[in-house]
Amino acid sequence: MRRGSVRITAREGIVAASIGADGRLATSTPPDEEHLAASLSQESVLFALASLPEKTPQWFRAGLGWLAGSTDITPTRITFADSVASFKDRSIPSLAQLFAKTDTLSPDDELLSALFTHYGLFSSEKKYAKAFMQFVQQQCGQTFSEASFVEAFHMSTGKMEKILATYSRTFAAYESHELNGRLPDMPAFTVREATQSEVARLQADLLISQGKADQALGILRIAYWRGEREPAMLAILAGLEERCGSIERANKITQALVTLPTPPTRVFAVDGRLRFRAATASKKPEEKLTPDETKLIMTPLARAIKAGLVTEDLCALVSDVVLRSSVQPPESIATFLNLAAKKYPENTAIKNAASVALLTPKPEPDKVEIQANGK
């Protein structure tokens, strides 16, 4: 199977593929665009899809992975998705059974996934592309139903199987681009040795993504004791210290970082969580946050959101503040929580806060509002 280079991004449920170029890192010469692009592969696509906050159906991941793997790129031509499965000599497996599967897909299941994904995205001048992506989004974390398929495609899975059987026999490459000359060279770049702070930060981020926060904390503490003081590294350390209950250490690092001319974005979330801890420490569970306390907590959180830090932990913290506050959240916060609930549908706190925020009336001009500038 020929593998091109594909980068997967996701925005509001829409998956887009952008093509680079292939080649092999077989020499010690500085890599050009083709060589660097070869470092991304079909496995990279599948990993990116599996890492999306909203779990995509496994048949879709398998199908898009196949299309990525069948992209052929040369210095003068790019051919996207130049092959799909053919069931010429045997009957097509059941689509309904494929959509309902939760265990490992068989080889035929993967071929059918590729065929259906290609048809849904590219057939008849992308006629079904919008319906296909809506169907994929509906299947995220949901049980398949024939009714949902009929609603999306206005046909049964049985009729679609007959169409796919013909499509697999008459298929031609979706799109091919002829290039004038070679692919353009990459912009000039430099390579330098990473600092110890950067090494510790990268190792910690990797361990955190694997659920090994305790090991990440150990690596960052050692770097700190050795004198490393990179702000980005310290922001992660402050967050881990807060998470494990070392509040005094977390406060010490956080307060030093927030006074910098340009604090690292992550520290705003840590600062907000520490403020929330302090405000609720002596309160009874049913006791609400005052308007001043709410504003004090939300000020750094708003800065984090404005800077683009919209993680599940941050959204959950904003939710906790809204649920605990005596202040009616403004429309901007209600909209933010509604989007967060769609992005993290399994988080109960976010879902509850979104419901509460959307039910509350818009605040009057003299009411306290939470704004990104903290005023």
Q: Could you tell me if 237 and 270 are in contact, meaning their C-beta atoms sit under 8 angstroms apart?
A: no
What local confidence, expressed as pLDDT, does residue 126 receive? 80
Q: Which residue has the tokens 């979330």?
A: 269
Provide mean pLDDT across the span 189-218: 88
Average pLDDT over residues 218-231: 94
Query: What confidence tens digit (pLDDT) does each residue in 235-250 have?
Result: 999 999 999 999 999 9
Judged against a pLDDT cut of 90, whether residue 233 lies above it is answered with: yes
The CB density around residue 143, as the number of other CB atoms within 10 Å, is 9
Per-residue pLDDT of 118-166, as tens digits, reads 888 877 778 888 888 888 888 887 788 899 899 889 999 999 998 888 8
Phi and psi for 133 in degrees, rounded to 5?
-70, -35
pLDDT score recorded for residue 19: 30
Lowest mean pLDDT among 81-90, 95-104, 109-118, 328-337: 81-90
User: CA dihedral in degrees (20, 22, 28, 33; nearest 10)?
Assistant: -20
- For residue 304, give the nearest of 347, 270, 257, 280 by alpha carbon: 270
Q: Which pLDDT score is estimated for 6?
A: 36
Neighbours of 87 (CB within 10 A): 17
Give pLDDT, residue 105.
85
For residue 193, what pLDDT band results from cuts at 50, 70 and 90?
A: confident
Percent of the chain whose predicted confidence (pLDDT) is above 70: 70
Would the pTM count as exceeding 0.85?
A: no
CATH class of 192-263: mainly alpha
Q: In what order do the strands lie in the sheet with 77-80?
A: 72-74, 77-80, 175-178
- Each residue's pLDDT tens digit, 263-320: 999 999 999 999 999 999 999 989 999 999 999 999 999 999 988 888 899 999 999 9
Return the HEC string of the chain. Answer: CCCCCEEEEEECCEEEEEECCCCCCCCCCCCCHHHHHCCCCHHHHHHHHHCCCCCCCHHHHHHHHHHHHCCEEECCEEEECCCCCCCCCCCCCCHHHHHHCCCCCCHHHHHHHHHHHHHHHHHHHHCCHHHHHHHHHHHCCCCCCHHHHHHHHCCCHHHHHHHHHHHHHHCCCCEEEECCCCCCCCCCCCCCCCCHHHHHHHHHHHHHHCCCHHHHHHHHHHHHHCCCCCHHHHHHHHHHHHHCCCHHHHHHHHHHHHCCCCCCHHHHHHHHHHHHHHHHCCCCCCCCECHHHHHHHHHHHHHHHHCCCCCHHHHHHHHHHHHHECCCCCHHHHHHHHHHHHHCCCCHHHHHHHHHHHHCCCCCCCCCCCCCCCC
Confidence of residue 74 (pLDDT cuts 50, 70, 90): low
pLDDT at 14 over 70: no
Instruction: Give yes or no for a contact between 337 and 318, defined as CB atoms under 8 angstroms apart.
Output: yes
- Domain borders along the chain are 6-178, 192-263, 268-375
